Amino acid sequence: MARIQRTLLNNGIKVVTEHMDDMESSSVGIWVKTGSRDELPKENGISHFIEHMLFKGTAKRSAFDIAASIESVGGVLNAFTGKEYTCFYAKVLNKDIPLAVDVLTDMFLNSAFKASEIEREKLVVCQEIKMVDDTPDDVVHDLFMKGMWGAKGELGTPILGTSKTVSAFTSDAISGYMGRRYQGSNVLITAAGGIKHDKILKLFDKAMKSVAKGDTLSEKPTQRRKPSVMQESFSSVNLIKRDLEQVHMCLGVPAVEQADKDRYKLYLLNTILGSGMSSRLFQEVREKRGLAYSVYSYLNLMRGAGALTVYAGTVKKDFKRVIALVTKELRRMGKDITPKTLKCAKDQLKGGILLGLETSDSRMNKLARDEIYFGKSLSIKEIVSNIDAVTPVQIKNMAKRLFVPSRMTLAAVGRVTKRDLPEWLKRK
């Protein structure tokens, strides 16, 4: 029997499972392929708000009952929202999977959306927004996305929304958005662990019958872009002046989309550049010069768009020097990649992937992301093979393609103004 099995229900919901031998736990998630990039400007933050509201009670369970039902068996119940999907999931012992499915489907199908709860949760989410706003190393990442993709663009708006948009949400706005996006054809169920596909299928087929298949969802222009085409960005400088001990900065460029055939080159480039203590950025900025405690690079790859971003936190007097060191390392990526360096990066990347897939919840997440971005499950063998096939020349060519000063975006939060920037950034 195949470890990974998939079934398409009559209403368009896809169910994908992976059986993991000798695993005592199972994780199951209901995914909706919708997030902040699917919202209208006045709806910004509504995907995340709905995520909150599904925990606030149904006809047969109070908010306390929802939480206690899973915690009482030692399980975990949670949810998260991104730019392109929302997930509601539970992790429990195998014997408690029927309970987990019952709770998740009850939340998903029967949430009450009481007016009093909506008003109360508006206050909660606005507090969450303020909490993020008080955390400069969180603010700078949203500021970077805003600068790269545009303040009113689907990728440049914050996942949480703003206090203004959240405060204006109504029950009609929520039901209207869910009516458009929470359709069977836009819902995915994934499960992994010591469970059998037939059991999961039986539980969800019965529980989710009432979900309408819906019309084919229209896609936005950026979601229809051809593979290997990098979305144009707004190459800019965005500064927020605050009285802080450090300047928190993000410097980055647009990159390939998640499903692009060149993504493995990008994974390895990012690993060499800023992933871990052995990375070039960590060694050059922190270890050799002590200019930052935290310095790293990361990827944010989506449908039709992507970004490679470098983050660092440093004192104001070293701000310009850190930018110079970062850009020096970006240029170096296009010139100096030895076979030994690449082999170490390949071993690091492959090891991290394998170690990250040892739990049922990580496997459940992988199943969903594979389906969302590739329409199939990628085997570990396929992933490893693609990583091993990358050459030093390919890494250098990608670096030259990406790291062009005219395409770079900078965001910074702290006691910094344009006078503190290097000349090439002042011109943006």
Instruction: Give catalytic residues, as residue numbers.
Output: 51
User: What would the two tokens of residue 98 be?
Assistant: 């029927």
Largest Cα separation within the chain, whole Å, is 65
Amino acid identity for residue 181 in this structure: R
Q: Which two tokens stand for residue 130?
A: 């303020």
Separation of alpha carbons 200 and 274, rounded Å: 40
Q: Closest by alpha carbon to 199, among 123, 96, 117?
A: 96
Task: Kindly give the pairing relationship between strand 76-81 and strand 86-93.
Answer: antiparallel
Residue that the structure tokens 């119940």 belong to: 77
Q: Which of 411, 186, 312 is nearest to 425 (CA)?
A: 411
48's tokens? 């995340």
Q: CA torsion, points 198, 203, 209, 215, in degrees to nearest 10?
A: -60
409 to 81, 89, 150: CA distances (angstroms): 25, 35, 11
Question: Which stretches does DSSP call E strand in 315-424?
Answer: 409-414
Neighbour count for residue 45 (Cβ, 10 Å): 27
Q: Report phi then psi at 86, rounded to 5.
A: -130, 135
Task: Pick the closest to residue 141 from 413, 330, 421, 426 (CA basis).
Answer: 413
Q: What are phi and psi of 318, to 5 degrees?
A: -105, 0
Which tokens in the block code for residue 417? 């103004």
356, 342, 331, 302: which is closest to 408 by C-alpha?
A: 331
Q: What are the counts of helices (DSSP H) followed by strands (DSSP E) for the chain?
A: 16, 11
**Dist. CA 318–CA 323, nearest whole Å:** 9
Strands (E), 386-428: 409-414
Q: Residue 397 and residue 413: Cα distance in Å, rounded?
A: 32
CA dihedral 123, 125, 130, 132 (to 10 degrees): 170
